A = this chain, B = another copy of it.
Amino acid sequence: MSQDRTLHHFPLDPASRQVRLALGEKRLAFSEVQVRYWERPKEFTTLNPSGMTPVLVEGDGAERLVLCEARAILDHLEEAHPEPDLLGREPAERAEARRLITWFDRKFENEAGGYLLHEKMEKRLLGLGAPDLANLRRGREGLKTHLGYVEGLLQEREWLAGRRLSLADFAAAAHLSVVDYFGDVPWADFPAAKTWYMKLKSRPAFRPLLTDRWPGLNPARHYDDLDF
């Protein structure tokens, strides 16, 4: 099967990680091509003119389907491979999962993850020099606010969107896991969030993410530890 499905991704991209988690949870095999998106490789921008990862290519010849951007891929996977279902079945469950996906993809990224990953990751990849300390501080403050929000949700829920694992958990875990790679998540101050993340880390779908390494970017010591 895996030769029929190829994911073009960057291992430390939160959007790519959401797709890898969904593919893993649905037990859909795939081959992978790692993309140095910041170099805008031509074979990749031909697939996706935005130049952004992830892109999933399914099938071949006249049956070839090119799915660009996480939203298109995740929605397609729900439609084409509905089991296990990762959005919920009731309108209210689906709305809550989708609300939280926007929360993490937009609000978390704007207020926390974006600052931290730009300063600690992209500047290295692009050779842009040392991190800006004011931005790191902004990112860490934002991160605490968002962890507090997650902590609050988990007082009343087993998973972020409710009683069942959903794409909302994968969105949150994808964003947090990249920040965690760089050692910036103060898990000890957010015990419910930590327990939730430990449960996610233990799922088979999460394993490949824990083995990700990128040259020149070393993970924090606890990054792949299931008992951090």
A210 at the interface (CB under 8 A from B): no
Interface residue A23 (Cβ < 8 Å from any Cβ of B): no
A120 within 8 A of B: no
Q: How large is the interface on A (under 10, 10 to 19, 20 to 34, 35 or more residues)?
A: 20 to 34
Expressed in whole angstroms, the Cα–Cα distance for A92 and B69 within the complex equals: 13
Would B80 and A65 count as touching, CB distance under 8 A? no
Is the CB–CB distance between B103 and A71 below 8 Å? no
Name the B residues within 8 Å of A98 (CB-CB): 69, 71-72, 75-76
CB within 8 Å of B: which A59-115 residues: 65-72, 75-76, 79-80, 91-92, 94-95, 98-99, 101-103, 106-107
- For A107, the chain B residues whose CB sits under 8 A away are 50, 52
Q: B69 and A91: CB pair below 8 A?
A: no
* Residues A72 and B102 in contact in the complex (CB < 8 Å), given A65-B95, A67-B95: yes
Min C-beta distance of A1 to chain B, whole Å: 17
Q: Does A228 contact B (CB under 8 A)?
A: no
Q: Quick check: is A215 within 8 A (CB to CB) of the other chain?
A: no
- Measured between alpha carbons, how far is A94 from B94 in the docked complex, in Å? 19
A interface, CB within 8 angstroms of B: 48-50, 52, 65-72, 75-76, 79-80, 91-92, 94-95, 98-99, 101-103, 106-107, 149
A-B contact pairs, 22 of them (CB 8 A): A48-B99, A49-B149, A50-B107, A52-B106, A52-B107, A65-B92, A65-B95, A66-B95, A67-B95, A67-B99, A68-B95, A68-B99, A69-B99, A70-B102, A71-B98, A71-B102, A72-B98, A72-B99, A72-B102, A75-B98, A76-B98, A79-B91
The 3 closest A-B pairs by CB, nearest first: A72-B98, A69-B102, A68-B99
